[in-house]
Amino acid sequence: MAVDEHTGDFDGQPVFWRSAPVPAGAAAPDAPPLYVHGVPTSSDDWIPFLERTGGLAPDLPGFGRSGKGGHLDYSIEGIAAFVERFLSLVGVERVKLVVHDWGAAALAWAIRNPQRVERLVICNAVPLLPGYRWHRVARLWRTPVVGELTMGFTTRWTARQLLRPAFAGPVPDGFVDAFWSFFDPGTQRAILRLYRSAPEEKLAQAGEGISRIPSRALIVCGALDPYIPARFGEAYAARLPGARVELVRDAGHWPWLDRPEVTGLLATFLAES
């Protein structure tokens, strides 16, 4: 189905999102999928999913085509507040929430609004759980001066090399190009602030109360993810009654790019009644 592009405004800052109609006959048509991307990408990640399931996919503040002002709140709380405001903008009350990587910050919104989440998918998401330790690149970004220097010396070529471990095979054609054109100083600043806002103990604090989300949940884990060990998929499931875990072998941090059948797996789960 066709995917449309939209631009709105939050206090003078642009808000970009993509949308597609929910297919006829889909379960809970009043609760469209809401796809929340992570770092360093944008709603570009979700185009294949929107084509299958319909729904909404915004560019988070600081990423893609959305605003990147220095005054914006690049934190877990900031993203949770953005989700609330975005849903008000588009007039949607309930959603099927799908989060990847730093999209996990949207879980803070879900914890406060559990009855608004009809279904939940957590895919290789930052663990809002005890016991997680930031990966090597994140530790660089979290370090003042070192993080700025790391960003300053990042080129398209070095970005591709840094991302190679995130995939089971070669970095997919076009993946780096898709985000690189938006990887400007505003996005770099947003990434540094986001990581620096979240020491490991704050991640665990943000996830307290996740068991209150009553919706059915699917946890998808690319087994070869170098950033988020697959055991945190099981840890998420332990907090979510009735959650199902799918371990995707031969897949990394973006498992649907290594194993295209993951797109169908999510689409089937979201369509179930």
* pLDDT tens, residue by residue, 58-90: 999 999 999 999 999 999 999 999 999 999 999
Q: How far apart are CA 59 and CA 67, in angstroms?
A: 9
Strands 55-58 and 13-20: antiparallel
Q: In this prediction, what percent of the chain has a pLDDT beyond 70? A: 100
Is the dihedral angle over the CA atoms 125, 126, 127, 131 positive or is it negative?
A: positive
DSSP per residue, 17-69: EEEEPPPTT-S-TTS-EEEE--SS--GGGGHHHHHHH-EEEEPPTTSTTS---
Is-contact 223 250, C-beta < 8 A?
A: yes
pLDDT band at 133 (very low <50, low <70, confident <90, very high): very high
Report pLDDT for 272.
85
Residue 1 pLDDT level (bands cut at 50, 70, 90) = confident
pTM over 0.85: yes
263 band by pLDDT with thresholds 50, 70 and 90: very high
Dihedral sign, CA of 128, 98, 238, 227? negative
What's the mean per-residue pLDDT of the chain?
95
Domain segments of the chain as ranges: 4-271
pLDDT digits (tens, 9 = 90+) for 205-226: 999 999 999 889 999 999 999 9
* pLDDT of residue 98 exceeding 90: yes
Contacts of 7 (CB under 8 A, 6+ apart): 14, 15, 16, 65
Mean pLDDT for the stretch of residues 96-106: 98
CATH (residue range 4-271): 3.40.50.1820
pLDDT of 13 > 90? The answer is yes
Arithmetic mean of pLDDT, 189-201: 97
Predicted pLDDT at 214: 84
31 pLDDT band, cuts 50/70/90, is very high
Confidence of residue 12 (pLDDT cuts 50, 70, 90): very high
Confidence at residue 173, expressed as pLDDT on a 0 to 100 scale:
84
Beta bridge pairs of residue 138: none
Q: Which of 23-32, 54-63, 146-155, 190-199 has the lowest mean pLDDT?
A: 23-32
Percentage of the chain modeled with pLDDT above 90: 94
